[in-house]
Structures are given as C-alpha cells and as structure tokens.
Amino acid sequence: MKLAMFASGTGTNVQAIIDAVHCGQLQAELVGLVCDQRQAAVIERAEQAGIPVFVASLQDYETRQEWEDAMVNFLKKQEAEWIALAGFMRIVGKPLLKAFPHRIINIHPSLLPNFPGRDGIGDAYRAGACETGVTIHYVDEGIDTGPIIAQQKLSINPDWTEQELAEKIHKIEHQLYPNTLKTLSEKEEN
C-alpha cells in the first residue's frame, strides 16, 4: 500500500500511522504528506520520518481547481495509491475524488451519521449524548457522508469534561486508523 496522508494541524493521527509502519504493524509505504497550513506541527512529524511534504495553501492558488490539480500532481509523482485524511480541515473536491476513486478515506471523531462537521467531539458533548465514538469512512462529495468502513463506540460518562472525552476519542483514533488501514491493505493484496 503506497499511502499519502493529508493533515492541517497537530498530526497525532499521522504520527500513529507513522509509528504503526515503523513497528511493522502496518505494511505501507508512506509516500507523502499534503498539508494546507504552513505552520502546522504535522509537517515536522513527517519530515522527521523522512516523508516528502507538499504544502498546498489554498490562498496560493487562483482557483480551487488549480489547488486540487497541484495536489493531484504531487500524489501522482509520489505514486500514491491510497489517501488517508487525518485532520485535514478542507473539503476534498472533484479533481481529487476523480483521480483516486474509492481510495480516499477519512477519520471522524463521532459515530457518523451523528455529529458530522468540524467539531464532532464538542457537538456530542454539548448534546449530552450517551455514546459517541470514531468513524473511518470513504470520502465522497459531502461532509462526512461517505460509506462507513469501521466504527468504534465509546459510552460517555456524564462526569467527564469535554477534554477528558477528547482524550478518550483520540486514544481510540490512534488505534482504529492504523488497524483499518491494515485491513484495507490486506484486502487489496488478496
């Protein structure tokens, strides 16, 4: 599996994937990181792991089409086969979806279809939900709407702070994402 990752921020999920590859748990070649934020901490994580980084700020391009074409060019050059969005805070549009049909996946910190959007953890917390979780799904043109690949539930203890809930969600994410990638890569081999 030649895997590229997309991220905008801290990159703890990217780190979990890097670590899973380094310890041999996930058989994948990490061929690139695409990041839309020049200052993001995830860039340093990728550089330390020797992963080629492509910074693509939307503001540097005249149109979204040019921005996506630039990302597609980078991914083709790196021979990426799969793309894992990991905290990438932009909507992926037609050029990328057409270039990688059924090969772009995303991690979302809620049990979709509940609580899609930018703040899945905070929204579940404020709604007083009894349970939430983590979803890995294929990316389509909607926001967090594509077919679900894997989910893990978490019961919410009403005594938890939002921060405590977030920590538990991230812990699940850091296992579920590498495990799901492993399952996908093994399926493709057979």
Which active-site residues does the annotation give? 108
Q: Which is nearer to ligand GRF, 1 or 133 (CB)?
A: 133
SS3 letters across the chain:
CEEEEEECCCCHHHHHHHHHHHCCCCCCEEEEEEECCCCCHHHHHHHHCCCCEEECCHHHCCCHHHHHHHHHHHHHHCCCCEEEECCCCCCCCHHHHHHCCCCEEEEECCCCCCCCCCCHHHHHHHCCCCEEEEEEEECCCCCCCCCEEEEEEEECCCCCCHHHHHHHHHHHHHHHHHHHHHHHHHHHHC
Q: 108 or 168: whose CB is closer to ligand GRF?
A: 108
Which of 20, 83, 87, 184 touches ligand GRF by CB under 6 A? 87
Q: Is 9 in the site for ligand GRF (CB under 6 A)?
A: yes
Binding mask 104-143 for ligand GRF (x = CB under 6 A): ---xxx----------------------------------
Nearer CB in complex with ligand GRF: 36/173: 173
Per-residue contact string for residues 136-175; x = within reach of ligand GRF by CB under 6 A: -------------------------------------x--
Binding residues for ligand GRF (CB under 6 A): 7, 9-13, 86-87, 107-109, 173
